Amino acid sequence: MSQETEHVQCLIIGSGPAGYTAAIYAARADLKPVMYTGMEPGGQLTQTTEVDNFPGYPNGITGPEMMEDFRKQAERFGTDVRFGYVSSVDFSSLPHKVVVDEIKTITADTVIISTGATAKWLGLPSEQKYNGFGVSACAVCDGFFFKGQDVAIVGAGDTAAEEATYLAKLCKKVYMLVRRDEFRASKAMVHRVLNTPNIEVVYNTETKEILGNGKNVTAVRVLNNQTGEESDIPVEGFFVAIGHKPNTDIFKGWLEMDETGYLKTIPGTSKTTIEGVFASGDVQDHYYRQAITAAGSGCMAALDAERYLAAKGDEVRVLS
């Protein structure tokens, strides 16, 4: 049940590069933005290694440090950054209603959604059983625990390639389980993987089960989908890097989404089909999914929100 109510001009949901960039622009435009960070302040980049492709950091920077810089910059211009998650929304009338932590209702003239996306899992019971005991979806967070040991990573995209090379620096051996006979990752990343001596790429291979002794992972059971042969690869760690799901469950029924749940925006803008509601970052972009493109779309959302409010103001002045 909602107990407290507060009105804001601009509410930003989510604290990745899109949310913080929207906050910087909205704050500088005097929209007095309030941001709710979600359960993972800083978003996905807080789980990544070196970020070498974000302009302005000639020597690279770690994801967590970069997000800390984003936060400081947003706060410097007056963004009210709050820890909390949005539990439901009601976009049926203006102002929009957003419930935070299931108890507090915020009414907002504009809402910028930057809730990002979350890592996918294989869906095996053993994956759940050993999650945190040898199974992880974040090499950067947990790779350290497998120093000098053998690990496997499943996936063949840029994330898997990046994480495999990261793990290879720490671990004795990294088995990369690729379900087809080719990668999805970019050529540069594949090149890096294939030139890392302690990564063994195992093609045409599906994960059947993660084996353990009840406490820790001891091996991964794999199936060669060409020969039908099953085998066990002894490993102490198992990393999942098979893509992401957009964090849009709370917007179901309110906003238009594509078949995989990514929010739809009017092309060339951050506008959703609901007036005053804007979307930016990975939550509406399954294609580029980069920190820099997310940041750019956060800027677009703040400008769209500002222009929407300005036009509304003109409307009110003309009518009164």
Q: Report the site for ligand NDP in 126-165 (rule: CB under 6 A).
A: 154-160, 162
Amino acid at 212: G
Residue placing its CB nearer to ligand NDP in the complex, 47 or 110: 47
Give the separation between CA 13 and CA 66, rounded to whole angstroms: 19
What one-character DSSP code corresponds to residue 54? S
> Smallest distance, Å, CB 104 to ligand NDP?
34
Two tokens, residue 296: 């750019």
Catalytic residues: 138, 141-142
Q: Taking the alpha carbons of 56, 118, 165, 49 in that order, is the dihedral positive or negative?
A: positive
Residues 6+ apart with CB under 8 A from 162: 48, 49, 189
Two tokens, residue 58: 């000639």
Please measure the distance between the N-terminal and C-terminal CA atoms of the chain and give it in whole angstroms. 37
Query: What is the rounded radius of gyration, in angstroms, for the C-alpha atoms of the chain?
Result: 22
Q: Does 243 bind ligand NDP (CB under 6 A)?
A: yes
Identify which of 121, 117, 120 has the alpha carbon closest to the alpha carbon of residue 257.
Answer: 117
Count of residues binding ligand NDP (CB under 6 A)?
16
Q: Applying CB under 6 A, which part among 87-95, 100-108, 219-227, 241-249 lies near ligand NDP?
A: 241-249
> Smallest distance, Å, CB 109 to ligand NDP?
33
Residue placing its CB nearer to ligand NDP in the complex, 18 or 154: 154
Q: Does 63 bind ligand NDP (CB under 6 A)?
A: no
- Strand, coil or helix: 202: strand
Q: Does 116 bind ligand NDP (CB under 6 A)?
A: no
> Smallest distance, Å, CB 236 to ligand NDP?
20
Residue placing its CB nearer to ligand NDP in the complex, 86 or 153: 153
> Smallest distance, Å, CB 179 to ligand NDP?
4
Residue placing its CB nearer to ligand NDP in the complex, 104 or 286: 286
Give the separation between CA 283 and CA 225, rounded to whole angstroms: 33
Residue placing its CB nearer to ligand NDP in the complex, 162 or 236: 162
Which residue's C-beta sits nearest to ligand NDP? 157
What one-character DSSP code corresponds to residue 187? H
Identify which of 27, 30, 66 has the alpha carbon closest to the alpha carbon of residue 48.
Answer: 66
Asked whether 228 and 237 are in contact (CB, 8 A), the reply is: no
Phi and psi at residue 237, to the nearest 5°: -130, 150
Binding map of ligand NDP across residues 167-206, x = CB under 6 A, - = no contact? ------------xx---x----------------------
Residue placing its CB nearer to ligand NDP in the complex, 150 or 163: 163
Q: Does 122 bind ligand NDP (CB under 6 A)?
A: yes
Q: Which of 289, 292, 296, 299 binds ligand NDP (CB under 6 A)?
A: 289
Q: Which of 242, 279, 291, 295 binds ligand NDP (CB under 6 A)?
A: 242
Q: Applying CB under 6 A, which part among 21-29, 124-132, 218-226, 238-246 lies near ligand NDP?
A: 238-246
- Strand, coil or helix: 75: helix
Give the separation between CA 200 and CA 191, rounded to whole angstroms: 13
Interacting residues toward ligand NDP by CB under 6 A: 122, 154-160, 162, 179-180, 184, 242-244, 289
